[in-house]
Each structure stands twice: as structure tokens, then as C-alpha cells.
Amino acid sequence: MTSAYQHLTHTFRRLAHFGHLGAIAGWDMQTMMPAGGSQARGEALAELSVLRHEILTAKEVGVWLDQAQQEDLNDVEAANLLEMRRAWQQASLLPASLVEAKSIAGSRCEHAWRQQRPANDWQGFAANLKEVVRLSREEAEIRAQANGCSRYDALLDVFEPGMTSAQLDRTFGDLKQWLPQLLQQIVDKQAQESVTLPEGPFAIESQRQLGLSIMQRLGFDFNAGRLDVSAHPFCGGVPQDVRITTRYRENEFLSAMMGVIHETGHARYEQNLPAAWADQPVAHARSTAIHESQSLFFEMQLARSTEFLQLILPQAVAQFGAQPALSAENFVRLNQRVKPGFIRVDADEVSYPAHVILRYEIEQALISGEIEVDDIPAIWQEKMQSYLGIDTRDNYRDGCMQDIHWTDGAFGYFPTYTLGAMYAAQLFQAVKRALPQVESLIRNGELQPVFDWLQQNIWQHGSRFSTRQLITQATGEDLNPQYFRQHLENRYLPR
């Protein structure tokens, strides 16, 4: 006789298979699909979203969840059941019509954004974004009513289970107290240091080859993934077929290089999630902030270290030839340069949190109804000026239109970037305790012990533990933002 739990594992395996198809179709839409396919692809993905929603919210699933609760399950199965119930509860709140409408509106907004951003067309973008925001507010209200929380907290919980805006306000409030002064100190210090910019052009194919060689050094499994180009870098696909992307500019190569490293961090996490539980919720990444902690561990903690930069410098010289900018000292300075700028994804790790806090504050007000879409540019300008001293008036392309996240209603996502940076600093500190010689290992290209530590403490667990349990087991304590501050001070203002 088939148990309730077995019925559930079969159902979630079906959902995973449909999710696999959706992930690859979504990747194709952002990388390979001709513009004329946008509407048809959007409708197809919406239909797939509705199908998955119907399977997950079927009446018998709720019955099986209750029955399975009484069955004899081991620890991993119990954790899987917990994740199944969470997925079912999240989905059951929303009517299929809203799921479909959100998918269509998101596809339309994202596709149009690709042309509207280069054209600096805020008015055209805003028209589509208003519908996305309207539907996101509708979703947020439904979730908030069910969970007894604010609209924004209801959406935040989708990406970061257990996190609240009250906790974020405390964490970010503390960050805003000390970060501006630290940023200014670092900028003043670096103003005394000369740095030579690399001389291009840098051929796209040479940049691609550099990225591929670094991915190989970082342990990316090319038998289970690939590198492509998109308007906005991302990591997609599924653990057995991870698709990462970057974007190239011929006048400089560092942003694409670091973008590849960042996405490789996401990809290594995906490729090393528990294969024995593939197709089950317990094998998913724990949360968005934990996912970001892995990409930022790779990009910021590891790749921007002096040891790693010196390790990969010969690979850069092999692609672009020797030049003054690619001396050992200058290459490190280039990649540890702190300079507030317009673009979040190109930001240094010191000014980056200001980009995130700005977006967090705007989307919080947008979802609560305190502001409307038409208010965004003025508020964006005010906060960019206040936090980073940058003027974005009438520059929507490099201002409030630069990100892809709001196009499909991913409100509640942005805070996880800075949470991820904090987790990454805390994790790297734990690595240092476990591997006191880690700097020497990195300098010599012996990275496997670091990856083994991540595999043992983060990757292999998937969603078996809560975020708090996972971090506490790995580092000995819950999230402690002090490690992030110490990291920035040690790297940029060493005593």
C-alpha cells in the first residue's frame, strides 16, 4: 500500500520535472529567444505556472500532508515534509487566476524592459511595472491576511523564511550608522594611491575564455552547466543543468570577470545540493540569502582577496597580453577599488549595501501603498544622493531601471543580497578557524579544502535545516553582522 508520504514524493517529483522545463524555457527567453517569441513564450510559461499550481494545491495534497504527519519518517523525510507543507501553504493562498496574471505581466514587463532600459524609456517601463505592482500588492495582501503580518513581510517570507522587516530595519539601521564613515575613509585613503586602468579593447571571446578558465579553477562542472550571455547576469536552470550568464563590454573586462565568478558561486551551490534527494523540496537551496552568501563568498570573500587575484592574474595576462595595468600590485588595486557608482551589480563590496538598502526602502513603501510607481524616480534620486552622493536625475537607465527583479514582481528579494554578504563574511571567518592556512592555500591554487568545507557545512544540507540552524551549525552562532564590518575594515583599512 502506498503511504501518504510516498504520494507526496511522487507529486513533488512531477512538480520538479515541470519546474525543470520552466527553468530552461525561462533561461532561453532571456538568452536565445528571438524578440518575436516573447508573447507566445510568456503565455506558455504562464500555462505551466498554472499547471504546477493546480498540482500543488489539489485537495488530496492537503490530506496527504496531514496523514504523512502521523507516519514514521526519518529526520530527512520529516524535514522534506516540512518543506512540502510550506510550499503547499504558500501556493494554496493564491488563486490560479492571480498566478497566471502575474506570470503574464512579469514576462511582458521583463521583455519590454530589455528595449526600454537602453532607450531610457521610463514612461514605457512604468506602464508595465504598474500592472506588476498592482498584482504584487494583491498577492501581498492575501499572504498578509493569512499570516497575520504586513504586506511586505508576507513577500519577504517567500524569499527568506523567518525574516521580518523589523529584523532588517535593525540590521540595516546599524549598517547605516557606520557604513558612510567607513566608505569615506576608504575613498580618502585610496585617493592617495595611483591605479592604472587596463587598456582595451578586450575581445569578447578573450573575455569568455578568461571566464571559462576561472570557472574551471573554481570547480564548475561543465558536464552539468554552461556559460552564456544575457542582458542581466543570472544563474538559472536546475542542479543537473545549471545555466549561468554574464554580459560583456569591450572597453573593460573586470565586471564580466567578477560577474562570472559571482554566478559560479551560485552554480557550485546548485551543483552540490543533495543529489540523493533531487526532485524533492528538501534538496532545494535553503533560502535566497543563503544562495547569495555562496555567490558573495566566491566573489567578495575569495575572488577579491589579494591571494586569489594574484592567482588568476596570469590567466588575464594570457588573454589580454602584458600591460602596466596587469602588474600584480595594480591588478589587486583595480579589483579592490572602492568607488561609489550608479550600477549595483558593478558596485564594490563597501558601497554595495547602500544600493540594497535604497531598493529595500523603496519596495517596502511601494508594496505598502505609501508610494506609487510614478514616485520611484524622485525617491531613487533622493536616496542615491543621500547614500552615495550620486545624481541620477533623468538617468533612468543607470538608475531605477537598471535591475530586472521588479519586472516580474520579485519584491522582498533585494534585502537578501546584503544579508548574503553578511553570511558570507561570517562563513569565511569560520573557514579561517577551520583552515588557519587558508590564505596560503588560496595563493597556491589549492581551493579544494575551502570547497570541501562549504560542501560539508552548507551545500549538502539543502533545506534540511532552517537558515538559523544552518548558520549556527556552520559558524557557532546566528547571523552576526559584526563579521561583515570586520572584514571590510581588515581588507580596506588594515592597521
Q: What's the number of domains the chain is made of? A: 2
Q: What is the extent of the structural domain holding 157?
A: 149-495
Q: Which helix (H) or strand (E) holds 235?
A: strand 235-238
**Could you report the per-residue pLDDT of 47-81, keeping only the tens digit for each?**
999 999 999 999 999 999 999 999 999 999 999 99
Number of other residues whose CB lies within 10 A of the CB of residue 210:
21
Among the candidates 114, 148, 182, a domain finishes at 148
Mean pLDDT of 387-409: 95
Mean pLDDT of 286-295: 97
Rounded distance between C-alpha atoms, residue 143 and residue 139, angstroms: 6
| Residue 113: closest CA among 101, 126, 102 | 126
Residues 159 and 116 both lie in one domain:
no
| Residue 403: closest CA among 113, 130, 107 | 113
For residue 346, name the pLDDT band (cuts at 50, 70, 90).
confident
Phi, psi of 142 (to 5 degrees): -60, -50
Rounded distance between C-alpha atoms, residue 5 and residue 16, angstroms: 16
Residues 351 and 482 both lie in one domain:
yes
Residues 448 and 308 both lie in one domain:
yes
Q: What is the pLDDT of residue 170?
A: 96
Residues 393 and 451 both lie in one domain:
yes
CATH of the domain at 320: 1.10.1370.30
Residues 198 and 228 both lie in one domain:
yes
The answer on pLDDT for 122 being more than 90 is yes
Residues 163 and 80 both lie in one domain:
no
| Residue 353: closest CA among 156, 179, 168, 174 | 179
In sequence order, the 6+-apart residues with CB closer than 8 A to the CB of 2 are none
For residue 128, name the pLDDT band (cuts at 50, 70, 90).
very high
The answer on pLDDT for 345 being more than 90 is no
Residues 313 and 277 both lie in one domain:
yes
Residues 130 and 178 both lie in one domain:
no
Residues 157 and 203 both lie in one domain:
yes
Asked whether the beta carbons of 235 and 244 are under 8 A apart, the reply is yes
Q: Which is the catalytic residue, given 77, 131, 263, 292?
A: 263
Q: What residues form DSSP beta bridges with 245? A: 228
252 is known as an active-site residue: no
Among the candidates 84, 119, 148, a domain finishes at 148
**Over the chain, what is the mean pLDDT?**
96
Among the candidates 96, 122, 148, a domain finishes at 148
Number of other residues whose CB lies within 10 A of the CB of residue 489:
15
**How does DSSP assign 304-317, residue by residue?**
TSHHHHHHHHHHHH
Residues 76 and 213 both lie in one domain:
no
For residue 277, name the pLDDT band (cuts at 50, 70, 90).
very high
Q: What is the pLDDT of residue 187?
A: 96
pTM, to two decimals: 0.94
The conformational region for residue 98 under phi > 0 = left, psi -120 to 50 = alpha, else beta, is: alpha
Mean pLDDT of 23-48: 94
**In percent, how much of the chain has pLDDT > 90?**
97
Pairing of strands 225-229, 241-246: parallel
Residues 123 and 205 both lie in one domain:
no
Burial of 194 (0-12, 13-18, 19+ CB in 10 A): exposed
Residues 332 and 346 both lie in one domain:
yes
Size of the chain in residues? 495
Rounded distance between C-alpha atoms, residue 272 and residue 252, angstroms: 32
3-state secondary structure of 237: strand
Mean pLDDT of 480-484: 97
| Cell, residue 274 | 543533495
| Residue 426: closest CA among 361, 367, 478 | 478
Q: What is the pLDDT of residue 495?
A: 83
Rounded distance between C-alpha atoms, residue 30 and residue 38, angstroms: 10
Mean pLDDT of 26-32: 94
